[in-house]
Amino acid sequence: MAWLRVVLAASIGSVLASTPAAAVEFSVGDGDKITLDITESLFLDWHFELEDPQIVAAEDRENVFDLRNRLNLRLRYDMWTLGLRFDAAWFPSPPSSQYQSDFRPEEIYLRARLGKTTLTLGDDFLSLGRGMALSLRKFDEVGFTTTLRGLHALIRTGRYRTRISAGLTNAANVDLVEEKFVPDPNDLIFAARFEGTPFKGFKFGVQGVDIERRHSSLREAVAGVVGGDDDVDPINNAKTDRSVIVGGNIELLSLADAIDIYAEFNYLQNFGRRLTAAGEVDNDSDGYALYMSATGQAGPLTVLAEGKRYQRFEVASSLHPDTAQQQGVTQTFQYVTPPTLERVDQRVINNTNVTGARLRLDYQLPDSKDQVFISGAYFIDAPAVDEFTLHTFGGWERIGAAGDRLLVQAGYRHEEAPDAGIIRVRMFHVDVDWFYAFSEHLDLQFHLNHEFRSKNIGAASLEDDYIEGTSYLTFNVGESWSFTGQFEYLTEESNDSPLFPGAFVQYNINDQSFVRLFGGRSKGGLKCSGGVCRVFPDFEGIKFESTIQF
């Protein structure tokens, strides 16, 4: 049982490594030193039955083991930082070719801080404005992490800041959600942003992004140099060349000491070709995104108003033809994340062709820290063209002493296609979060999300009423132990096993390192974070996780 030896070695290493918070330091003479920071994360899953409909044979889905590991190393010396992240995946018996044992340096960067200039060679995250022109970020909630591997410069001069980046997009190849191997998009991106605060209370920024896609001659030349792949047979006879985004934002802060205003506009132009019997024809398109927000405060009342209009504003990675056609992996990566104006975990099907607004009011109750709030949002062409979505919710937030907190909220969501006479989604939801300390060294955390859902009302054969929810109760005992019971359910007609019970035990080795064990079932389905959504598989089995930091 080689895998067991590996786990035990890692676990013993974890437990023995229970030292206080400190980096590792090496003296290099004359009082200089090199500092090494380490973050090591290990994930081990034992799927009693792997949820993957692409695997037909039941025996191939049973008792699937996998191990994934992330080792972050950061070496610092004077103005220099060298960052490395090694990712590994191991399947003793891969259930299909989509699951691959792999080891690779996933992120590498060398950073120099030269006064007000920071230069980075290698992987870096990049987000411009409100993420509408470019947003390459860590998105662990939905298993996406994308960096730009190349050259980055950040230059500060007084009230102004310039950022220039160029490189190839590098995605985390070992997918933490589906556990399949995903190839790098390798799109070539040039990006620049200039922003500043010319005077107090006024900020502005302008930006430009050029994405050289799979079939651009420049990208092909660069990808060829770095060992990129060829694309002999384009998918759907479409060749994608470039996407260019230009835009800017202004921000007015503390108007009349009470109001903040933000506005951003970006224009998108896509260049491509389509292969026809008569030869190649241009396949260009354009789009734009406008977003505005205003925040105001008057005594106990806080107001947030937001509006968006996005038209044909979709900027994602190119589909990798080899894996898409040969292995059925069709995962692409979002390069932009425009504000959704929705709850962060809301299932937002369309955030590329939509117009909408949100208004939220918070009111602080007299002689208290407690707040009540109400939020309402309305979207046109959502979830699809000529449809609409309405979502309103409200609640009460109670702030107690020393970390005690209670949040209770409830709401209603309605998605309708009036021309078709169908209500696509009708949902009532209740959410509770409660944090309470019984005494020093004993507290609880409770979370409840319950949804009454109906879908496809008016389309008799597709209509379904069901409930869906997640709840957990955690007891923290001292600084070291946490015990969690979790219960999820989904009674949707297509789901033949509606209950998902599970339990966690977590041991905190020290204040920065822990090991955690989960046993049971957890619910999959479409999960979203900030408008980035993907389908998670259900899980049934045992998970082990550890994170150790120095």
Partner 1 sequence: MIRTLLSVATALILTAGCGSSGGASSTNNDLPDFTAYDLDGGDVTLSSHLNREVVMLSFWATYCEPCKAEMPVLQDLHAKYAAQGLKVISISLDGPETQALVSPYIKKHGYTFSVVVDEDNGISQAYNPNASAPYLVLIGRDGAIKKRILGFQSSEVPQLERDVRGLLGLDAS
Residues 191-210 that bind partner 1 (CB under 8 A): 197, 200-203
What burial letters (b/e) apply to 128-144, b meaning 16+ CB within 10 Å?
Answer: bbbbbbbbbbebebbbb
List 439, 461, 494, 497, residue binding partner 1 (CB under 8 A):
439
- Position 326 contacts partner 1 (CB under 8 A): no
Token code pair at residue 293: 């927000």
Kindly tell me which residue out of 382, 530, 539, 543 binds partner 1, with binding defined by CB under 8 A.
530
Does position 471 interact with partner 1 (CB under 8 A)? The reply is no
> HSE-up of 420 (CA within 13 Å, CB side)?
16
Question: If DSSP codes are grouped into helix, strand and coil, which group holds residue 319?
Answer: coil
Residues 160 to 189 in contact with partner 1, rule: CB under 8 A: none
| CB proximity list for 31: less than 8 A, separation 6 or greater | none
Q: Which helix (H) or strand (E) holds 41?
A: strand 33-49
Interatomic CA distance for residues 497 and 473, integer angstroms: 22
Q: What is the 3-state secondary structure (H, E, C) of 480-524?
A: CEEEEEEEEEECCCCCCCCEEEEEEEEEEEECCEEEEEEEEEECC
Task: Lay out the site mask for partner 1 across 45-84 (x = CB under 8 A, - = otherwise).
Answer: ----------------------x-x-xx-x-x-x--x-x-
Minimum separation from the CB atom of position 109 to partner 1 (A): 9
Q: Is 505 in the site for partner 1 (CB under 8 A)?
A: no
Site residues (CB under 8 A) for partner 1, limited to 411-430: none
Judged by CB, which is closer to partner 1: 446, or 466? 446
Residue 335 Cβ vs partner 1, minimum distance, rounded to whole Å = 12
How far is residue 264 from each of residues 160, 242, 287, measured CA to CA in Å? Answer: 18, 22, 14
Report H helices in 28-161: 58-61
Considering only residues 48, 105, 156, 221, which one is a binding residue for partner 1 as defined by CB under 8 A? Answer: 156
Residues 114, 513: Cα–Cα separation, whole Å = 33
**332 binds partner 1, rule: CB under 8 A:** no
* Choice from 30, 225, 438, 496 touching partner 1 (CB under 8 A): 438
Q: Helices in 68-168 by DSSP H: which ranges?
A: none
CB of 424 to partner 1, least distance (A): 23
Which amino acid is residue 323, in one-letter code?
T
Where are the extended beta strands (E) located within 115-173? Answer: 117-124, 126-128, 134-136, 138-139, 144-157, 160-171
In the bound state with partner 1, the residue whose beta carbon lies nearer, of 173 and 197, is 197
* Residues 348, 425 contacting (CB under 8 angstroms): no
Select the residue interacting with partner 1 from 112, 221, 255, 344 (CB under 8 A): 344
Residue 152 Cβ vs partner 1, minimum distance, rounded to whole Å = 9
- Toward partner 1, which CB reaches closer, 405 or 414? 405
CB of 419 to partner 1, least distance (A): 30
Q: Taking the complex as a whole, how short is the minimal distance between the CB of residue 511 and partner 1, in angstroms?
A: 5
The single residue among 55, 359, 380, 437 that binds partner 1, judged by CB under 8 A, is: 437
Question: Does residue 527 touch partner 1 according to CB under 8 A?
Answer: no
Q: Smallest distance, Å, CB 6 to partner 1?
A: 5
Q: How deeply is 356 buried, as exposed, middle or buried, from its count of CB atoms within 10 A (0-12, 13-18, 19+)? A: buried
Binding partner 1 (rule: CB under 8 A), the pick from 2, 58, 114, 278 is 2
Question: From the list 386, 404, 464, 465, which residue makes contact with partner 1 (rule: CB under 8 A)?
Answer: 404
Residue 198: count of CB within 10 angstroms of its CB: 10
Question: What is the residue whose two structure tokens read 């191990």?
Answer: 67
Closest separation in Å from C-beta 381 to partner 1: 19
Under 8 Å between Cβ of 310 and 531: no
DSSP H or E run through 473: strand 464-477
Q: Scanning residues 79 to 138, which ones bind partner 1 (CB under 8 A)? A: 81, 83, 85-86, 88, 90, 101, 103, 113, 124-127, 129-132, 135, 137-138
Residue 543 binding partner 1, by CB under 8 A? no
State the Rg of the chain over Cα.
25
Task: Return the amino acid letter for 293.
Answer: S
Question: Which of 186, 266, 340, 470 forms a contact with partner 1 (CB under 8 A)?
Answer: 340
Verify binding: residue 246, partner 1, rule CB under 8 A: no
Nearest CB to partner 1, comparing residues 143 and 339: 339
- Using DSSP, state whether 232 is helix, strand or coil: coil
Stretch that binds partner 1, among 52-60, 181-189, 386-394, 504-512 (CB under 8 A): 504-512
> In whole angstroms, what is the distance from residue 131 CA to residue 133 CA?
6
Task: Rank residues 260 and 322 by Cβ distance to partner 1 and give the closer one.
Answer: 260
Number of residues that bind partner 1 (CB under 8 A): 115
Summary count for the chain: helices (H), strands (E): 4, 31
CB of 304 to partner 1, least distance (A): 5
Report if residue 517 touches partner 1, rule: CB under 8 A.
Answer: no
The residue to which tokens 């290493």 are assigned: 13
Is residue 150 at the binding interface for partner 1, with CB under 8 A as the rule?
Answer: no
**Which positions from 280 to 319 touch partner 1 by CB under 8 A, shown as an x/- string?**
-------------x-x-x----xxx-x-------------
Kindly indicate which of the ranges 39-47, 272-280, 465-473, 536-544 contains the residues binding partner 1, using the contact rule CB under 8 A: 39-47
d(C-alpha 434, C-alpha 398), whole Å: 9
4 binds partner 1 (CB under 8 A): no
How many CB atoms are closer than 10 A to CB 508? 17
Find the binder of partner 1 among 164, 316, 399, 503 (CB under 8 A): 399
39 binds partner 1 (CB under 8 A): yes
Q: Which two tokens stand for residue 37?
A: 């920071």
The minimum distance between CB 223 and partner 1, in angstroms, equals 25
For residue 175, which phi and psi values (nearest 5 degrees)? -75, 120
**Overall residue count recorded for the chain in this entry:** 550
